[in-house]
Amino acid sequence: MAFWNRLWDGLYEKAKERNTLSQPIQDNSEKGYRPYFSLLTDEERVRAIKSISPITETGQITDIQLAYGVRVESEQLVLINYRVITEKIPETEKMLYHRHFIVLYGERYCNAHYTSDNEREAGELIYSVPEIFTKDAYAEKLYAGPLRAAMSFYRLWPMHKAFEKACKEKQGVDVSLIIKATRIMLHEDLEKYVKEQKLASMLPQLKAVSQPENATRTQSTTQSAIAAQPQTSTEKPVQKPVRKGPDIVAQLNREKEYVLALCDRLEAKYGKAEFGAPATENVITQWEEAKQITIPEDLKEWLKFSGESKLKGIPLEFYPIAQFRKEQDYVAIGRRENTDIGFLIENGRYIGIEDGNRKNLGQMETILRFWGYDAKELFAEEELEKLRPVIEEYTFKMEQAEQNAKVSSSIKDAMEYFFAKHTIGSLKKWRTYPKCPVRRDIVNCGLVISEPDRDGYYQWKPVEATTHVDFKSMESKLGFSIHQDIKDFVTSYYYFMLGADIGDAGINIYPFLPTTNVEKYILDSFEKESYAGDYEFILNGQFFQLGGGCIGGDDSFIIEVNNKTGEVLAVEYMDKRHVKIADSLYDLFMKAIPEWYEE
């Protein structure tokens, strides 16, 4: 890994010499947070996938396995590009490019993006930097500057085009293709640089050999003689250095328990799963020594559980070790339906091969997990039928709430109508109440109704708000009156994050919990930032921040409530745009379609 980092650093310096980077980026480089290409660790990749899973397609999750991005030196900040959305402006025929990123910082992550009217050097960048990085001067200096520099660097970096080309041509990780694509672009420069770096790394050894001291010469000669001795075929292959990341064996064992329970459930309809005798440590070691190939640790663990296995329902088979086949740069170890499964000899990652095309499968735990997801769908109709009485109950609640809301025009009744639809959608789609990840410190807030599932998600229900709110005190601090709709909204219900569509906009309404400091929540929700557009109410902080929004693929919108009129707007500060999405909060909850809900 150190060699590759030196390689990318060297190429970066070459790029600077060719003036392929803009002057601002060169200036940023001198400040000590120079961006450079780096492979992701397993832990970072998992966090990245979790971040984009709710908002993207499977193909984009697969592409993230390529792990191309930039890591900001001297800062715990990683930037990963995962999609580009193009938009054509009808009035000007101009094309806009919205490049979306995942930002990993410390143990957390968030989204960021930039918009440009040109993919390359021309055109001004409009950045969307998460609020977490701009809320105070320290965070601004620590993260916002490096983040903008990294996004600029990514656009102007001469090699990222080659990596994107490789990403489009292959769904999984193919290091040889990536290197080939880079060589094509840089011609002989990369090969020359690699040779130079290898030679540079050997210089200390060459100097040591040329030393006149007898002891040094004798020692070097002895070491050379030992190195020159032919290796016997019985020698155990050199173990690759272990990368930091999650405990893949522990993950596999947790997933295995779920798989076994699911196999028992599948048995009546699809037949008994077949698990052969465990492979011994000696058998595994003998195969590794004979083939000079290291078997991944999680596959060893599976073989020690079952030397051969066949799962039913959605057919998944792992061969006995004697039937493992070396194919090009991978070893075939099993099959799922029409897809062969193998692991790459170079790094132990699992791939699926179908009609000559490859896709990255992650780890053994991931292979079993996706089999479990698909196998569970075989019982979808059966589980849905069991929930039929509950769905009918919520359907009645929804119809009743709709009637009440139309008569009363009450925001609380409109929210009750929305929540009923929200629950019905989740029950029909996932056969559970709505789910979300919950921090340990708020798991007992009164909304959670289940134990966590194997992904750490809890089922929850909204609860009527009971906290007394002193609006007069807050209005005194704000210097203006709070709109009645906002007062009704914050005194109606407690809930976790709500996702929905209304018109062309996708929205996420921020959670409001029984543990929330209501006064701080309301005061902080009235933005102090100036919009400086043509909607004058925003100039004086007279708007209430409700959540985030996405329109036309641009997820940098903030959902705001006009404190003077009660209108709900999607506001994009960088581009100084706003779109009215509802006449009022009542209108919002009556017309919004919760995620997963279908008419």
What per-residue confidence (pLDDT) applies to 92?
64
Mean pLDDT of the chain: 75
The DSSP bridge partners found for residue 437 are: 457
**CB of 243 closer than 8 Å to CB of 42:** yes
Task: Count CA atoms closer than 13 A to 359's CA, side-chain side.
Answer: 14
Tell me the average pLDDT across 31-60.
Answer: 59
pLDDT in tens, 63-108: 554 444 555 555 567 777 777 777 766 666 667 777 777 777 766 7
Q: Answer yes or no: is pLDDT of 532 > 70.
A: no
pLDDT in tens, 92-102: 666 777 777 77
DSSP letter (8 states) at residue 512: B
Who wins on pLDDT, 310 or 534? 310
pLDDT in tens, 155-164: 655 455 555 5
Q: Answer yes or no: is pLDDT of 331 > 90.
A: yes
Q: With bands split at pLDDT 50, 70 and 90, how would you rate the model's confidence at 56? A: low
**CB of 535 closer than 8 Å to CB of 548:** no
What per-residue confidence (pLDDT) applies to 129?
73
Distances, alpha carbon 404 to alpha carbons 231, 341, 395, 400, 417, in Å: 82, 56, 14, 6, 9
Q: Answer yes or no: is pLDDT of 517 > 70.
A: yes
Query: With the C-alpha atoms ordered 399, 402, 407, 408, is the resulting torsion angle positive or negative?
Result: positive
Residue with tokens 């998944």: 316
d(CA 135, CA 138): 9
pLDDT in tens, 284-299: 999 999 999 999 999 9
DSSP letter (8 states) at residue 448: B
pLDDT in tens, 195-214: 554 565 566 655 555 554 44
* Structural domains of the chain in order of their starting residue, each with its CATH number: 2-186 (no CATH), 189-228 (no CATH), 248-378 (3.40.1580.10), 387-594 (3.40.1580.20)
Tell me the average pLDDT across 526-534.
Answer: 57
What per-residue confidence (pLDDT) applies to 426?
93
What per-residue confidence (pLDDT) applies to 328?
85
**Chain-centre distance of CA 515, in angstroms?**
28
pTM exceeds cut of 0.85: no
Distances, alpha carbon 457 to alpha carbons 253, 255, 432, 450, in Å: 19, 16, 11, 9
Q: In what order do the strands lie in the sheet with 554-562?
A: 577-582, 568-572, 554-562, 543-551, 505-509, 498-502, 593-594
3-state helix, strand, coil in the chain (%, to 5): 45, 25, 30
Query: With the C-alpha atoms ordered 164, 166, 171, 172, is the resulting torsion angle positive or negative?
Result: negative
Tell me the average pLDDT across 177-185.
Answer: 45
What per-residue confidence (pLDDT) applies to 574?
66
Query: What's the one-letter identity of residue 223?
Result: Q
